[in-house]
Amino acid sequence: MRTTNWIVTATLLASFSAAAQQAADSQPSTQPPAVDVTQSAPATPAPTPATSAPAQSAQPATTDAQQASPAQPAPAPAPTTMDQVVNLFIEREHGLIKMLQTRTPVVETYLQNLTADAQLGAVPSGDHYFLGRMDMGEDIDRKDYLKEEEKSMQARLLGGFQKLYKVQYQPLGFSWMVYADRTDFDREHYNFRYARREFLGDVRCLVFDVTPKKGSGRGRFLGRIWVEDQGFNIVRLNGTYYPAPRNSYFFHMDSWRLNLIPGYWVPSFIYSEEGDFSAGVKNKMAFKAQTRIWGYDLKKGGKDDELTQIRVDSVTDESATAQDASPLQAERAWQQQAEDNVVERLTNAGLLAPEGDVDRILQTVVNNLEVTNNIDLPRPVRTRVLLTAPLETFSVGNTIVISRGLVDVLPDEASLAAVLAHELAHIVLGHNLGSKYAFNDRMLFSDEGTYQNLGFRHIPEEEQAADKKAIEFLKNSPYAQKLDSVGLFLKALQARAPQLNALLTTHLGNPLAEGGRVTRLSALESQGPALDNAKLDQIAALPLGGRVKINPWDDKAEMVKTAPVAITSARDKMPFEVTPFFPRLNRYGANAAAAPTTAANNSNTGN
């Protein structure tokens, strides 16, 4: 079996080659001209007080209790005038708001403050991270996963800017553009002017400029929307809110939706950016921020789930010999139970992707390390993807977890092998024997309490031992000749570590760097050539978002498919940086043939 895996390696890992820079999907369309809001209008905390009617009979009943995917809207009669199109997309927007009322997706915002660098352009000077659940049934409300002290760090960030504007990087501030206007998206409050047709990805859109009517109140959407031309759903919003109250400020946002379920396009990515480095600009507030939304299909606090899911699959013991467990078997089963409990709990909290495509690649790399080091464990090593951006790995029992952000920034397979080797070393060295999570009462906490209730950190001695063992593994492995790129990655990480504290703050495992100093595998840091920004073929680390794509509805992770784009200057490298989103839009089902999501390989979420 292992030999077959070897053969598979080459093809699988083609998607993890050192292909260099990932660029946002190329688009046939052009960027919309910047909406003329220039004013840098002072802005406001929340767009509008949303006082929607209490969610009555929340959700049209679904036929399939397991799937719980919302009922499709009736197909709209083909409109013949632009006026009818406007009516249709207003209606569809209200339909979306209603459909999502019962949902509490995960919202993550990662923000980098920027400073000007002569060689590299705008580079990060600091960063901030927010993670929470958003209750879409009420006025936008976020429950924060992060601890109190981390939250107060958010406040500290305001720094010098507070005097210029009362800018608050309020977590929910970045979720405003989930909708254009939650309560008053209608003709009484807005003018809609048709601009043109345009393709976004594979989807033909009608583009409208949206301006608030005079006297329609503060914090109204001002910008442009893209409406797809079949169901007339809004698929993208770009602009800001206007007018803002005195002394406050609205961010500019570019908000994208994906057609993840039939009939609806759900808010998925929001990019925000402010800043102007041109000469003479006084207020140099500058940042870039990515907001990602996922976990739409998570059960709301587990409550909705109680009665619909009491369905015990016909469980029969299919083990060949129905013998009693020996003490050793019992011990292993106990360990397995602890591991499964944690994996299941993290998945249900919207923090772990279900088993999928990315795991096949990770597992192949782990397998390469195991085979070449003659590692034979009583239970197989599994891998899973943590859905969040901060760079972290940890392992629980024999399951290695690596964050989406870390997979994104790793330049090649050898550096992926290096971070996995560290966790494999913990497993081999028997550092993961804590089985306290085999008791189910320890799993009974709110999703928001995950980071307070679970933790897989090791003591420094174990960290050092794991690093040492990992380097041994790597030197026996197919990656032995490629450790220069691991060294280069660690140098790039070191170069940015002092500015990227939030990206390097882990929530469940040990950090890669502490106090601005890389600690993980630091013995390899001296390996390889010196970091040289001017060398265009030296790619030490990638920007965020270039490798792993998350399906915001069901949290499945897959590898991004992008064609390599030539790097023409040091500015194109953007290691660890935030970039705009440009997802390639397509309609639900368009990729069905390509996505191998059959019930067969899809069933295991950790029990």
Pattern 81-120, binding to Zn ion, x per CB under 5 A? ----------------------------------------
CA 390/CA 507 separation, integer angstroms: 8
Helix 357-372 vs helix 2-12: angle between axes, to the nearest 10 degrees?
130
Name the percent of the chain in helix, strand, coil, to the closest 5: 30, 20, 50
Give me the least distance between CB of 426 and Zn ion, in Å please: 6
CB of 424 to Zn ion, least distance (A): 10
Q: Show the 3-state SS of 385-454.
A: EECCCCCCEEEECCEEEEEHHHHHHCCCHHHHHHHHHHHHHHHHCCCCCCCHHHCHHHHCCCHHHHHHHC
Q: From the CB of 268, what's the least distance to Zn ion, in Å?
A: 32
- Output 235 or 521, the one with its CB closest to Zn ion: 521
* CB closer to Zn ion, 228 vs 463: 463
Instruction: Please identify, using beta-carbon distances, which residue of 413 and 467 lies nearer to Zn ion.
Output: 467
CB of 456 to Zn ion, least distance (A): 9
CB atoms within 10 A of CB 149: 7
Q: Assess 510 for contact with Zn ion (CB under 5 A).
A: yes
Distance (Å, rounded) from C-alpha 453 to C-alpha 443?
Answer: 8
CA distances from 144 to 98, 103, 148, 253, 491 (A): 24, 16, 9, 22, 33
Q: Which is nearer to Zn ion, 135 or 463 (CB)?
A: 463
Residue closer to Zn ion, measured from CB, 274 or 463 = 463
* Residue closer to Zn ion, measured from CB, 423 or 447: 423
Least distance to Zn ion, CB of residue 584, Å: 36
Rounded distance between C-alpha atoms, residue 335 and residue 378, angstroms:
11
Contacts to Zn ion from residues 448-507, by CB under 5 A: 458, 463, 466
Q: How far is the CB of 362 from Zn ion (least distance, A)?
A: 16
Q: Is 19 helix (H, G, I), strand (E, B) or coil?
A: coil
Alpha-helical segments (H) within 119-227: 148-156, 161-164
Q: Under rule CB under 5 A, how many of the chain's residues touch Zn ion? A: 4
Site membership for Zn ion, residue 415 (CB under 5 A)? no
Amino acid at 549: K
Q: Does 403 bind Zn ion (CB under 5 A)?
A: no
432 binds Zn ion (CB under 5 A): no
**Residue ranges in 349-388 that form contacts with Zn ion under rule CB under 5 A:** none
* Backbone phi and psi for residue 369, each to the nearest 5 degrees, phi listed first: -65, -40
Closer residue to Zn ion (CB): 281 or 459: 459
List the x/- string, 294-333, binding to Zn ion by CB under 5 A. Answer: ----------------------------------------
Please state the closest distance from residue 423 (CB atom) to Zn ion, in A: 7
Q: What are phi and psi of 402, to 5 degrees?
A: -130, 140
Between 96 and 346, CB nearer to Zn ion: 346
Is residue 398 at the binding interface for Zn ion, with CB under 5 A as the rule? no
Picking from 104, 232, 231, 114, the residue whose alpha carbon sits closest to that of residue 178 is 104
Cβ within 8 Å of residue 267, ≥6 positions away: 178, 179, 255, 256, 257, 293
Considering the complex, what minimum distance in angstroms separates the CB of residue 418 from Zn ion?
12
| 477 vs 510, beta carbon nearer Zn ion | 510
Nearer to Zn ion, 97 or 421 (CB): 421
Question: Min. distance of Cβ 460 from Zn ion in angstroms?
Answer: 10
Contact by Cβ (8 Å): 596, 360: no
Residues that bind Zn ion (CB under 5 A): 458, 463, 466, 510
